[in-house]
Structure 1
Amino acid sequence: MRVVVAPDSFKGSLSAARVCAAVGAGVRRALPDADVVAVPMADGGEGTLDCFLAALGGTEIALDVTDPLGRPVRARYGLSGDGRSAVVELAAASGLPLLAEGELDAGRADTGGTGLLVADAIRRGVDEVLVCVGGSATTDGGTGMLRALGVRFIDAEGAELPPGGAALARLAAIDDSGVSDAVRATRLRVACDVTNPLVGPNGAAAVFGPQKGATAAQVVELDAALGRLADVIAERFGVRVHDLPGAGAAGGTCGGLVGVLGAATARGADLVADLVGLDAALAGADLAITGEGRLDAQSAGGKVPSVVAARASRAGVPTVALAGGVAGPLDALHALGLTAAFSIADGPRSLAEMTSDAPELLTALAEQVVRLRLDSGGV
């Protein structure tokens, strides 16, 4: 029996690689001689860098940059073995985990540190940079990152704006004359797992601002400021990012990179699936097991389980999802090819207990899934 194990991480509990190990142990309890193929996945956010390094055998580069509030921080990115491509996780330098709860400042936080990582990769001669934008603490439209790459954001008096999204309300012009030929020659791709536009009731400020510390009043101000950024981008570059799907990712970072530097966007989980060779792993498999921390209707919108289920379905392979929590309806996931989904909870448990016992619970549940598959004559 060939079983492909291709989960996302269980955030706050287990990395994707550890989920693979726990599920693989359960598969082998049921069938000791099973061929278990571990394919750790990510959705373009945190964990993508580790998938990249594991798949391509690249090099981890550590760099002293700045955190969302401009303080020194040590962050890392990945360089492929041939030196032609790099993966930068925005969360490494500009992520929420870098700030204590009392430090959250949605109006001032910026993506400059991430821009320094991208700039370093370009200086090393890469042809392509994949920017993974999950988990940001920022709502600056990616302007901090763009500054680090040579772009200036100017007010009506000709002065350069300070960092952060709130200042964009005074934006009058964008000067990209300082962008080097090397930056322009580098292919920038943005991996994201959301389809939110830049502005409006489903935009970056309205949907994600509160988790970054924005009050109701600040959400309104930041939405207007991002709207101003979008207006100036449209005037200067002829690109409308106001309602571009995904432009609101990471506080509008996606919109800024697309509008100013022509970055391409892609669904993160699909990019990772291609990177790690998921389709090749699924060829000839008898069962695919995927999963994430919480599986619900939103998981169908490009999350790892939806991508694994769809690709497995095309290969004629049934897919089962294991998750910390499962909340229906899951009709959209089933339509994509998901056979069934199960929670690892084996009874009433606190979140802390679920988190600490996740490996054992995954192993036990994976064993039962494989036993059911064997009993049904699925092999």
Structure 2
Amino acid sequence: MKLLLIPDKFKGSLTSVEVSKAFIAGVKKSGIPFSSHYIKASDGGDGFMNAVAHYKACISVQVISENPLGRPIQSYYLYNQESNSAYIELANASGMELLKPEERNPMLTSTFGTGLQIKDAIEKGVKNIYIGLGGSATNDGGIGIAQALGYSFLDKSGNRLLATGASLSKINSIDDTDVFEGLKQIRFFAVNDVNNPLLGKDGAAHIYAGQKGATKEMIKELDLGLRNLDVVIFDKYSFLYAELPGSGAAGGVAYGLKSFLGASYCNGIDFILELSGVNDLLTKEKFDFLITGEGRIDEQTLHGKLIQGVLALGVRKNIPVIAICGKLDIEKKELKKRGIYDVFEIQDSTKSLDYNMQHAADLLTAKTTEYFGLLLK
């Protein structure tokens, strides 16, 4: 049996490499003869730069930036000299993990720090900039990034607003007279990990802001604020990008990158899989199963996350996909209806969340041994 492993991390407990090692240990214990190949992947969210560095020769560029609440931090991005490209991970300067749980509030946070990284790359002469989205602490529609590059957002009285979620509903006009020189000569790519639109029940605020510390009232206000931003941008530039799949990524950052920087959208998993050379691999070798997984599989998993990308790859290449997760929050029959061959969760339901996260590797190995052991019977 030949297995191709393309798992995501189990956030807070296992890296994708650790997931693969625990899985392989489990298959070995089952006694089933097998060989395996591991692909390091990312959907454009957390781990984007690690995945890029795994496949491309890059140097790390250090930058003094700001965290989502404006505190100075040491950050970095990757630079590839051959293609004169920078690879920036939104979470590196604007990520939720940079804040304590009690500090998380998308009304107050900003992507300005990521904008400083982009500005640094442009000043160094970079011509292609890829921004991996996901893991953000923000819901600012990308106005923080835009502000760092010279855009100003003004209220009805002409006062300059802070580039935060709370300011979205107050924006009356945009001043672009001081936009960073040479911006139009740069090619920008928003590497998305989701396909949600900007607005409404499936949009940036309603789907993601609650995870970032927003109350129900804040979510409503943030959605209204993004609607206002969309109106102001249409009045200024005649752009209509809110309904594009992916515009809701990272609290609307994808929408902002497209509106202010002319960015193209890239599907994150497709982007990384292309870098990995997996299509060439699958042309040369045949695999019995594709193995993927993440900490929690739910409805959102099927909206542009890594597992959806692996599933699409499996369908194209006619390889059944087995998914592993810490917790399954969607009916198994629903996943099978979408094309997944099988799925199993590793959690011990009699134990606490902390226990399951701390013992995730052992649980994954044990469940894998049990699963593949049944194939021998």
TM norm structure 2: 0.90
- In structure 2, distance between residues paired with 1:349 and 1:81: 49
Call closer, same or farther: CA 1:178–1:273 in 2, change over 3 Å. same
- In structure 2, distance between residues paired with 1:146 and 1:69: 16
Matched with 1:218 is 218
1:361 partner amino acid = L
Call closer, same or farther: CA 1:215–1:361 in 2, change over 3 Å. closer
- In structure 1, distance between residues paired with 2:336 and 2:88: 33
**Does the residue aligned with 1:233 lie in a helix, a strand or coil?**
helix
Equivalent pairs counted in the alignment come to 375
- In structure 2, distance between residues paired with 1:185 and 1:367: 54
Give how far 1:301 is off: 2.3
4+ residue runs over 6 A deviation: none
Query: Where does 1:1-379 land on structure 2 (aligned, <5 Å)?
Result: 1-30=1-30, 34-80=34-80, 82=82, 84-180=84-180, 182-282=182-282, 283-331=285-333, 333-345=335-347, 348-373=350-375, 375=376
- In structure 2, distance between residues paired with 1:203 and 1:296: 17
**Deviation per residue, 1:313-335 (Å, 9 max, x gap):** 32232221111122442445434
Q: Is the 8 A contact 1:297 1:333 kept in 2?
A: no
2:225 partner amino acid = A
1:363 partner amino acid = T
- In structure 2, distance between residues paired with 1:333 and 1:127: 41
Range with greater deviation from structure 2 (179-188 or 284-293): 179-188
Query: What is the identity percentage for the equivalent residue pairs of Structure 1 and Structure 2?
Result: 37
**Deviation per residue, 1:335-355 (Å, 9 max, x gap):** 454211111235622211211
- In structure 2, distance between residues paired with 1:49 and 1:14: 17
1:334 partner amino acid = K
2:298 partner amino acid = D
Q: Is the 8 A contact 1:190 1:263 kept in 2?
A: yes
Cα RMSD for the two superposed structures: 2.4
**Does the residue aligned with 1:273 lie in a helix, a strand or coil?**
helix
**Deviation per residue, 1:114-138 (Å, 9 max, x gap):** 1111222223333322212212221
**Does the residue aligned with 1:224 lie in a helix, a strand or coil?**
helix
- In structure 1, distance between residues paired with 2:374 and 2:233: 56
**Deviation per residue, 1:185-208 (Å, 9 max, x gap):** 222111223333323333323333
**Deviation per residue, 1:12-43 (Å, 9 max, x gap):** 11111221222223334446974321112222
Q: Is the 8 A contact 2:196 2:202 kept in 1?
A: yes
Call closer, same or farther: CA 1:173–1:11 in 2, change over 3 Å. same
Q: Is the 8 A contact 1:83 1:126 kept in 2?
A: no
**Does the residue aligned with 2:179 lie in a helix, a strand or coil?**
coil
Range with greater deviation from structure 2 (3-12 or 100-109): 100-109
Range with greater deviation from structure 2 (87-96 or 276-285): 276-285
**Does the residue aligned with 2:341 lie in a helix, a strand or coil?**
strand
**Does the residue aligned with 2:108 lie in a helix, a strand or coil?**
coil
Q: Is the 8 A contact 1:293 1:323 kept in 2?
A: yes
Give how far 1:58 is off: 1.9
Structure 1: gaps (5+ residues)? none
- In structure 2, distance between residues paired with 1:365 and 1:281: 28
**Deviation per residue, 1:201-224 (Å, 9 max, x gap):** 333233333333333433333323
